[in-house]
Amino acid sequence: MPENKTLVMKFGGTSVGSADALLKATQIVKDARAEYPRVVVITSAMSGVTNLLLDAAAQASQGKVDSLPATESTLREKHFAAADALIQDETLRETTKQEINTLILSLVDLCKAIAILGEASPRTMDAVASIGERMCVRLLGAVLESGGVSAKAIESTEFVITNAHFQHAHPDFKVTTEKTRAVLNPLMDAGIVPVTTGFIGATPEGAITTLGRGGSDYSAAIIGSVLPADDVWIWTDVDGVMTTDPRIVKEARTLPEITYSEIAELAYYGAKVIHPKTIRPVVDAGIGLRICNTFNPSHPGTRLIANVPSDLHPRNGQVVKAVTAIRNQRLVTIEGRGMLGVPGVAARAFGAVASTKTSVPLITQASSEQSICFAVPSEAAESVINALQAVFASEIEDEDIDRVWMTEDVSIITVVGVGMRHTPGVAGQVFSHLGDSKANVLAIAQGSSEVSISMVVVAADTELAVNALHEMIVK
């Protein structure tokens, strides 16, 4: 066994969400050390904690601090119960609880400051949101130590250095590489397991930043890529990437392997097993990525594999690998004969959308150029419509644009599979299955990569469409 074989393991919120879960995580780390001499552990906040923190800040921004004592109590109870159950050494237990309590008190101070100001800046929100991981890293580090693993809790703010784009910070990979190696390698060389925070980093000046919700996966990919690790394992509460949402289709099953291009499409189109940004660092570094279940550790999970030429053709005749659904979307349409041949309409339209800070997951335009149609989240639809009507006010007045309108709620259904490339008739099969199920398709989009086809259906047809398309996988 190579002495420098390195594994990065990230545990999600449910994987550290209770004393029982923390015990399972500890055993997983101990088992992994038998195969990997060098292990880094990354933790999310305990399940439900980040939402609790953000709710407290939101209440405070409206001048409400009445619920702060209840928030304090919940946070103490959740973390202290696990500490009391799992940390045998009294000194270690009390030190851990004291450090966690200090962080809880810092939340109270931040919320009181927010209440006085009547607003919370992105920088302040990052300071609030980071507290969950910062509490959990101390708890997990002590639990591992108590379980016989030589471990050291360390905040990733010491080595993941980002820009100052608070709430969606981007790492400076050059500085992060230098600092990560300088901080983590000596610990691993000494046989210690560094336990660090996912989701957060810091500016060069030391201000705490976050990488966006779900950013702990991204943290694992960043740290794994810059060390570099041999493998990154994401521990969650499902048996890997599934063929579809098992709540919709009971026959859904785990995919033993999936390519990087497939998982990128799935992550973008609603599969919540992995954060979309996680893919690129591991692809660029050429390292392995595996998604596993903390509560079923013997299950092999899903292994991500590189895109290779042989994957351009379906294995075992399987063309479609997975089906996803994004709910709560609206289709927005700009239409009018006056748009025909007029340059810059799309640029102005999406400039207006961008001004509302709305992400567009799907776009489709007919070759006649008489309409542009795109999807936006339902909650953003009204502000998008208002922005478009303002930008095209003169064209609407001159009747070059007939109308800007939106549908009721719709869902984006996406079929994914590298086997779809160069396989004739896939689209025909997809629409044949949908037709047989009587699901009505409102819009269609397919990227040039041919790894996925997306369709928009009315909200009521979501389950119908997913079940129909999943039959293409299980046949």
**What is the per-residue pLDDT across 81-116, written as a single tens digit (0 to 9) for each?**
999 999 999 999 999 999 999 999 999 999 999 999
- Report the alpha-carbon distance of residue 98 to residue 91 in Å, rounded: 10
Percent of the chain scoring above 70 in pLDDT = 94
- Report the alpha-carbon distance of residue 346 to residue 361 in Å, rounded: 15
- For 379-388, what is the mean pLDDT? 95
Band (297; pLDDT cuts 50, 70, 90): very high
Has residue 247 been placed in a domain?
no
Has residue 268 been placed in a domain?
no
| pTM summary value | 0.85
Position 57 scores a pLDDT of 97
Domain boundary among 237, 256, 287: 237
Has residue 278 been placed in a domain?
no
Q: What is the CATH number of the domain that holds 457?
A: 3.30.2130.10
Q: What is the CATH number of the domain that holds 38?
A: 3.40.1160.10
Q: Is the pLDDT of residue 449 over 70?
A: no
Pairing of strands 452-458, 371-377: unpaired
- Report the alpha-carbon distance of residue 339 to residue 397 in Å, rounded: 14
Computed on alpha carbons and rounded to an integer, the radius of gyration of the chain in Å comes to 24
Look at 30-39, 189-198, 370-379 and tell me which has the smallest mean pLDDT: 370-379
Q: What is the pLDDT of residues 29-87, one digit of tens each?
A: 999 999 999 999 999 999 999 999 999 999 999 999 999 999 999 999 999 999 999 99
Cα atoms found within 13 Å of the Cα of residue 65, Cβ hemisphere only = 13
Q: What is the pLDDT of residues 214-266, one digit of tens each?
A: 789 999 999 999 999 999 999 999 899 989 988 899 998 999 998 888 888 88
Strand extents, DSSP E, 161-212 = 193-197, 200-202, 208-210
Kindly state whether residues 229 and 313 are assigned to the same domain: no
Band (277; pLDDT cuts 50, 70, 90): confident
Q: Tokens for 95?
A: 């030190």
Please, are residues 2 and 150 in contact by the beta-carbon 8 Å criterion? no
- Report the alpha-carbon distance of residue 13 to residue 132 in Å, rounded: 10
Domain boundary among 237, 261, 286: 237
Q: Tokens for 180?
A: 């990560």
Q: Is the pLDDT of residue 169 over 90?
A: yes
Kindly state whether residues 205 and 117 are assigned to the same domain: yes
Kindly state whether residues 226 and 126 are assigned to the same domain: yes
Would you call 324 helix, strand, or coil by DSSP?
Answer: strand
Position 1 scores a pLDDT of 43
Kindly state whether residues 345 and 227 are assigned to the same domain: no
Q: Is the pLDDT of residue 433 over 90?
A: no
Band (311; pLDDT cuts 50, 70, 90): very low
Please, are residues 331 and 455 in contact by the beta-carbon 8 Å criterion? no
Q: What is the pLDDT of residues 399-410, one digit of tens each?
A: 888 999 999 999
Has residue 291 been placed in a domain?
no
Q: Is the pLDDT of residue 339 over 50?
A: yes
- Report the alpha-carbon distance of residue 258 to residue 38 in Å, rounded: 26
Q: Is the pLDDT of residue 211 over 60?
A: yes
Residue 381's domain spans which residues? 309-475
Please, are residues 416 and 324 in contact by the beta-carbon 8 Å criterion? yes
Kindly state whether residues 28 and 170 are assigned to the same domain: yes
Kindly state whether residues 323 and 215 are assigned to the same domain: no
Q: Tokens for 322?
A: 């997975």
Residues 6+ apart with CB under 8 A from 360: 350, 353, 374, 375, 376
Kindly state whether residues 191 and 314 are assigned to the same domain: no
Would you call 431 helix, strand, or coil by DSSP?
Answer: helix
Kindly state whether residues 323 and 461 are assigned to the same domain: yes
- For 138-154, what is the mean pLDDT? 97
C-alpha distances in Å from residue 373, one per residue of 117, 298, 388, 404, 456: 41, 46, 12, 10, 11
Please, are residues 146 and 105 in contact by the beta-carbon 8 Å criterion? no
Q: Is the pLDDT of residue 439 over 90?
A: no
Kindly state whether residues 214 and 338 are assigned to the same domain: no
Residues 6+ apart with CB under 8 A from 2: none
DSSP state of 396: H
Kindly state whether residues 326 and 231 are assigned to the same domain: no
Residues 6+ apart with CB under 8 A from 355: 387
Of residues 297, 247, 303, the one with CA closest to residue 274: 303
Has residue 340 been placed in a domain?
yes
Q: At what angle do helices 90-117 and 68-86 cross, to 10 degrees?
A: 160
- For 15-33, what is the mean pLDDT? 97
Q: What is the pLDDT of residues 415-424, one digit of tens each?
A: 998 877 767 7
Kindly state whether residues 227 and 355 are assigned to the same domain: no
Domain boundary among 220, 237, 254: 237
Counting every residue written for the chain, the total comes to 475
Position 156 scores a pLDDT of 98
CA dihedral of 216, 203, 207, 285, whole degrees rounded to 10: 10
Has residue 76 been placed in a domain?
yes
Has residue 254 been placed in a domain?
no
Position 445 scores a pLDDT of 86
C-alpha distances in Å from residue 135, one per residue of 80, 132, 157, 294, 429: 11, 5, 14, 20, 51
Has residue 419 been placed in a domain?
yes
The phi-psi region of residue 433 (left if phi > 0; otherwise alpha if psi is between -120 and 50; otherwise beta) is alpha
Kindly state whether residues 198 and 49 are assigned to the same domain: yes
Please, are residues 322 and 416 in contact by the beta-carbon 8 Å criterion? yes
The H helix count followed by the E strand count for the chain is 15, 17
Opening angle at CA 130, ends 207 and 291, nearest 5: 120
- Report the alpha-carbon distance of residue 287 to residue 97 in Å, rounded: 37
